[in-house]
């Protein structure tokens, strides 16, 4: 099983600041198979990034993804009030279970 | 409108059964693989099961294998999850999610329902 570890667990920032969220895999992940989601309280997750760096439809360009191998990053260039939420990374691989998520990073207003 | 709507959650005793449904609309349901993902209260997301587009192939997380069965009715645009021998640790919001169907980017989820809460307790 590929374990995804996200850091930090909680990130406290102010609107307008830059957020950098990390996702580290226990084994190499094909960069094509890494996605990021945003989840707000009481809501379903929303796809932000797929293929490590491709933005999903309708996602603002302040969101960007990067990385390869075992280290991946989600960057939010200038935080808007609506960006404060929990963020999850997710990978797809051949070893069972084929799909795993990180434990999440909570982005909170400072 | 493109959407997924889950139903069927509720309170069930340990050892009991429940069937969840996920009604799809606004897209060609029969063309997509579909998944169930769950989230225990205050916890992260955990993949549960997936089914291919015509229902001929399924897979499960080890934690539910032999107890849960995923199925679909493409004529009714509906996905199901039959849950038997329920345990307290199955308590979670259950989301159905659409596989983005990308041959290049593997499996990821481009459409989610709002979820249905399953509580297993005596």
What one-character-per-residue DSSP string does A69-88 give? EEEEEEEESS--GGG-SEEE
Q: Quick one: average pLDDT of A51-58? A: 95
Query: Phi, psi (5° rounding) for residue A40?
Result: -100, 155
Separation in Å, CA B79 to CA A16, B22, B36: 42, 5, 9
Name chain A contacts of B104, Cβ cutoff 8 Å: 32, 51
Name the pairing type of β-strands B10-12 and B116-120. parallel
**Residue B104: per-residue pLDDT:** 82
What are A's interface residues with B at a Cβ cutoff of 8 A?
A: 30, 32-33, 35, 37, 39, 43-47, 50-51, 54, 56, 88, 90, 92, 96-104
Instruction: Give B51: exposed, middle or buried? Use CB within 10 Å, 0-12, 13-18, 19+.
Output: buried
Q: In B, residues 12-71, which contact A (CB 8 Å cutoff)?
A: 35, 44-47, 50, 59, 61-62
Higher pLDDT, A17 or A32: A17
**Residue A76: per-residue pLDDT:** 97
Whether residue A32 is predicted with pLDDT greater than 90 in this model: the reply is no
Q: Which of A6-10, A15-19, A36-40, A94-98 has the lowest mean pLDDT?
A: A94-98
Q: Which two tokens stand for residue B93?
A: 């919001």
Contacting residues for A41 by C-beta, under 8 A, at least 6 apart: none
**Residue B30: per-residue pLDDT:** 97
Q: How far is A15 from chain B (nearest CA, A)?
A: 25
Contacting residues for A30 by C-beta, under 8 A, at least 6 apart: A93, B106
Q: Residue B105 and residue A96: Cβ atoms within 8 Å?
A: no
Q: Mind listing the pLDDT tens digit of every residue in chain B (122 residues)?
A: 999 999 999 999 999 999 999 999 999 999 999 999 999 999 999 999 999 999 999 999 999 999 999 999 999 999 999 999 999 999 999 999 999 988 888 899 999 999 999 999 99
Higher pLDDT, B103 or A95: B103
Candidates A30, A47, A103; nearest CB to B109: A47
Q: Residue A97 and residue B61: Cβ atoms within 8 Å?
A: yes
Whether residue A1 is predicted with pLDDT greater than 90 in this model: the reply is no
Name chain A contacts of B61, Cβ cutoff 8 Å: 97
Angle (nearest 5°) at CA A32 between B6 and A48: 45
Whether residue A95 is predicted with pLDDT greater than 80 in this model: the reply is no
For A9-27, the pLDDT digits (tens) are: 999 999 999 999 999 999 9
**Residue B64: per-residue pLDDT:** 97
**Residue B93: per-residue pLDDT:** 98
Q: Which residue has the tokens 């609107």?
A: A15
Whether residue A94 is predicted with pLDDT greater than 80 in this model: the reply is no
């Amino acid at each position: 099983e590929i374990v995804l570890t996200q850091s930090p667990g909680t990130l406290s920032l102010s609107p307008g600041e830059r957020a950098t969220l990390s996702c580290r895999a226990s084994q190499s992940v094909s960069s094509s198979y890494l996605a990021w989601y945003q989840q707000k309280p009481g809501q379903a997750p929303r796809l932000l990034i797929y293929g490590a760096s491709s933005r999903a439809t309708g996602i603002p360009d302040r969101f960007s993804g990067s990385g390869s191998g075992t280290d991946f990053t989600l960057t939010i260039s200038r935080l808007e009030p609506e960006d404060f939420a929990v963020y999850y990374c997710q990978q797809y691989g051949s070893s069972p279970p084929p799909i795993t998520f990180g434990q999440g990073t909570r982005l909170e207003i400072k | 409108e493109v959407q997924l709507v889950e139903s069927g959650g509720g309170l069930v005793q340990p050892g009991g059964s429940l069937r969840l449904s996920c009604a799809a609309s606004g897209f060609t349901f029969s063309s997509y693989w579909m998944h169930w993902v769950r989230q225990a209260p205050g916890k992260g997301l955990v993949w549960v099961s997936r089914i291919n587009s015509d229902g001929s192939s399924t897979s499960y997380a080890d934690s539910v294998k032999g107890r849960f069965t995923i199925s679909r009715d493409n004529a009714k645009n509906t996905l199901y999850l039959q849950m038997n021998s329920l345990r307290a640790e199955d308590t979670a919001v259950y989301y159905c999610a659409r596989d983005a169907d990308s041959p290049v980017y593997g499996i990821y989820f481009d459409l989610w329902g709002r979820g249905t809460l399953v509580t297993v307790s005596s």
